[in-house]
Structure 1
Amino acid sequence: MGNNIGLIDRLKVGLAVSIAKSVTFGVRSLKLGAASVMPGAIARKMEPRLLQLLSQQVKYGVILVAGTNGKTTTSLLLKEILERKGFRVAHNSTGANLENGLVTALMESANTFGGLNVDYAILEVDENIVPKVLAPIQPQAILALNLFRDQLDRYGEVDSISKRWTTAISSNSPNTTVIPNADDPTLSYLGQQLSQKVVFFGLNEPEKYLAEIPHAVDSIYCPNCGHSLDYEGVYLSHLGEFNCPKCDFKRSKPDLDSSEWSQILVGLYNKYNTLAAATAAKVLGVDETTIRETIPTFQAAFGRAEELEINGKKVRILLSKNPVGTNETIRVITESNDKTTLLVLNDRVQDGEDVSWIWDVDTEPLVQRGGTLIVSGNRVYDMALRLRYSEASLDSKMTLIVEEDLKMAINKALEHTPANETLHILPTYTAMLDVREILTGKKIR
């Protein structure tokens, strides 16, 4: 951590970073995008070891944040906690979480000569590349949030990812601290297999259990012997209190008592994000007072429970890109008194081209409560069919509006939203970018 690199390597890094910064300046000056990936791609062509050489310059170390849901929110909270203590922190805040994006983020904090003067780097990492980046980065800590089905056309099932994680992490530096979600059976088991220091986070609030296990459940079998797990209760998807009746595998004990902690933003998933960041901060030596003082002041990242005021009406954007995440955003909506919802489904590369996941979403509670549901996106009719299918089995007074044009869909949704209510928008990733551009006039790329 914070190692000096040799003169030759420093010259190579300096040249690569200097050219990449020129590219960044040109792209942003011409308003061609955020330049969150291209500079890293160019720089890595010039020096393939750039991720390693930049990571070595981070004074106290790199924290990798991996998982299906919650990476951006958790990373931002952890960043704010560390900055409150006066630390300088690099972070891939644009969400570009593949190798080129990681390099670009580190270069953002470097000077023209490639020198990186930061205390920590918090890097959100796509779950599929965790094994590839562990060796060059040698992180101080790995925060493993959860593993759910997400973009099956790209990643495959949860078990295949968890096995790759276990193999890669177990052979990584013994100085790395691993912080897994105790309530996720695959991650709880992963933590129990490691020789490194492991600190768990999770919930211990039985009053928040779901009434039943939802359809969008991914991992209810014992990762040790394959037998069905016994659940005392579930919080969301397969996250909960569990044990295996056949072998001795059971849920690990979290470090923090969740009932004693408030949370950021809305939704139970944000309680997990809060506990993950708080546990990581504690591992890094931050005092509890600083952690607790940061939580109430936290502001949502774009699209993650972000709240806007448009034409005098409140709008809340809840990123919904897989079954578990969408079920949780639906839970947030149905617990409110708001009756207007816009669902935007895209199938671009960043979203995952397989949209069959919407049939694992429990849309019935949303449909059953009635109100106005507007659907849009380039797979608008798939989403409309999913809602109609739910309606067919329910006594619902839902009003469904199908609108291919997203701008018109947003306008209609605002028109149907009473002044004293909030319009909830549930978009997939690229749809969220489009929605924000229409609402704010600012492009995020």
Structure 2
Amino acid sequence: MKLLDRARLALAVIVAKTVPPIIRKLGLGAGSVLPGEIARRLHPNLLALLCEQVREGVILIVGTNGKTTTSLLLRTILEENGAKITHNATGANLINGLITALLFDTNLLGKLNADYAILEVDENIFPLIVQPCQPTIILGLNLFRDQLDRYGEVDAISEKWQQAITPLPLTTTIILNADDPTLCYLGNNLPQNVLFFGLTESELYLEEIPHAVDSIYCPACGASLDYQGVYLSHLGDYDCPSCDFTKAKLDIYSPEWGQILVGIYNKYNTLAAALASQALNIPTSNIEKTIKTFRAAFGRAEELNVNGKSVRILLSKNPVGMNETIRTVNEIKQQGKAQATLLILNDRTPDGTDVSWIWDVDTEQLVSQGGTIIISGDRVYDLALRIQYSQETLNDAQLNLIIKEDLKEAVETALNHTAPDETLHILPTYSAMLEVRQLLTGRKIQ
């Protein structure tokens, strides 16, 4: 490495290790992005320089939902099997966040001591970082509509992914969710070794296809797909009546596996991490042991004890994600273990400024169970209107709707409406999740 490059790298390391503590001390955030932005200006090729130091390889985890939970599970499995991991654990998944995380784990000379780098990556910037990262494994979880003001439709994103992945070495392992027709079709058209995960459990089918679905048409010919059943949004068992496109053969048998946390989406996260671990030759018994003892990432079905009461935070940032959290909450309500639910809707940059997506959420399913619903957030009245229009499903159930503009008051009210033997479910958008954790624990991210 040239002397100038060494100097730039040393300066970038200093920035990465000194700026975050200052930012946190001033209460300006977690400091997970700004150091990477400064370092990138000092050394434009920094991401590639850091990734090439990883001994066994870089693992990129991409998709709309489930990145943080899957990343943490895979990291835990590998660490419990002796591997040294570098990981953007704060969830900062844009380029600057990736660089910040990698730099934080270097020594003062910029040397990165890691067997694997596990990087969860925003689906829109994924094509930009594939070449500099040169991943050993790419794990694609799903593609749903999310922040349409930024990303556009899922087929356009998939095309960009294919263009980015195709030039990679044929030795690269691609792991995709076959239950998602868009990703299944992507895998069929890649030259690399592709492994597929998905569900084989018809007893988990939804009664009907939700109206907020994205990819029910054949990606090969455009015909409407025939679904034998759906597990979540457009994810399910399907084939095309007009061409030979069908769900790919799976490389993991879901009934043989338990799952982490609650919800169908976490069964997908479990299978994804398990298949990636198997691809890295981790013994199945070791993978299963980790799954049984796994703890949630912050805000992803994370459970807290607050003043003797159980609280579960379920990040809800798009129609599919929120529909699944509602499904989970209702199952627990039907067991008599939940009464109050707190919904929080923000429209800040991390959330997406377009909140029209709430009209694609099946809030009627939540309202139909009755109980107490507290709502808050920057767009509390948009959410209140959505809940108001959902009340025709109440039937004989009784709904207690409480509107609180102040988030602290909303949390206190929700806790007051939660009995000691019940669980309070909080369904926040991303920025709201950070605020809620700050209120409940004194920390935004642990």
SS at match of 1:200: strand
For residues 321-355 of structure 1, the C-alpha deviation after alignment (integer angstroms, 9 at most, x for no partner) is 00011011001111112121000000001000001
Q: Which residue of 1 aligns with 2:392?
A: 392
Structure 2 residue 81 is matched with structure 1 residue 80: no
Give, in angstroms, the shift of residue 215 of structure 1.
1.3
2:274 to 258, 275, 278: 278
Percent same amino acid at aligned positions? 64
Tell me the amino acid that sits aligned with residue 32 of structure 1: L
Q: Which residue of 1 aligns with 2:427?
A: 426
Structure 2 residue 402 is matched with structure 1 residue 401: yes
Structure 2 residue 155 is matched with structure 1 residue 159: yes
Give, in angstroms, the shift of residue 201 of structure 1.
0.7
8 Å contact kept, 2:16–2:104: no
- Structure 2 distance, partners of 1:23, 1:430, is 22
Q: Which residue of 2 aligns with 1:368?
A: 368
1:244 to 230, 233, 240: 240
Q: Which residue of 1 aligns with 2:354?
A: 354
For residues 266-289 of structure 1, the C-alpha deviation after alignment (integer angstroms, 9 at most, x for no partner) is 001000000000001111121111
2:67 to 45, 68, 71: 71
8 Å contact kept, 1:18–1:114: no
Matches within 5 A, 1:5-404: 9-336=5-332, 337=336, 338-395=338-395, 396-404=397-405
Tell me the amino acid that sits aligned with residue 45 of structure 2: R
Give, in angstroms, the shift of residue 253 of structure 1.
1.4
Tell me the amino acid that sits aligned with residue 342 of structure 1: L
Give, in angstroms, the shift of residue 30 of structure 1.
4.1
Give the direction of change, closer, same or farther, for the CA distance of 1:209–1:23 in structure 2 (3 Å limit): same
SS at match of 1:335: helix
SS at match of 1:153: coil
Give the aligned length. 441
Return 5+ residue gaps in structure 1 as ranges: none
8 Å contact kept, 2:76–2:290: yes
Tell me the amino acid that sits aligned with residue 310 of structure 1: V
**Which consecutive segments of 4 or more residues in structure 1 shift more than 6 A?**
none
* TM-score normalized with structure 2 length: 0.96
Return 5+ residue gaps in structure 2 as ranges: none
Give, in angstroms, the shift of residue 72 of structure 1.
0.2
SS at match of 2:150: helix
8 Å contact kept, 1:281–1:291: yes
- Structure 1 distance, partners of 2:442, 2:33, is 22
- Structure 2 distance, partners of 1:11, 1:179, is 38
RMSD, matched Cα: 1.4
8 Å contact kept, 2:367–2:393: no
For residues 401-438 of structure 1, the C-alpha deviation after alignment (integer angstroms, 9 at most, x for no partner) is 11111111111111111221111000000000111111
Give, in angstroms, the shift of residue 48 of structure 1.
0.3
8 Å contact kept, 2:370–2:394: no
Give, in angstroms, the shift of residue 33 of structure 1.
2.7
8 Å contact kept, 1:370–1:398: yes
8 Å contact kept, 1:63–1:142: yes
Give, in angstroms, the shift of residue 444 of structure 1.
3.8
Give, in angstroms, the shift of residue 290 of structure 1.
1.0
8 Å contact kept, 1:231–1:243: yes
Give, in angstroms, the shift of residue 14 of structure 1.
2.7
8 Å contact kept, 1:18–1:113: no
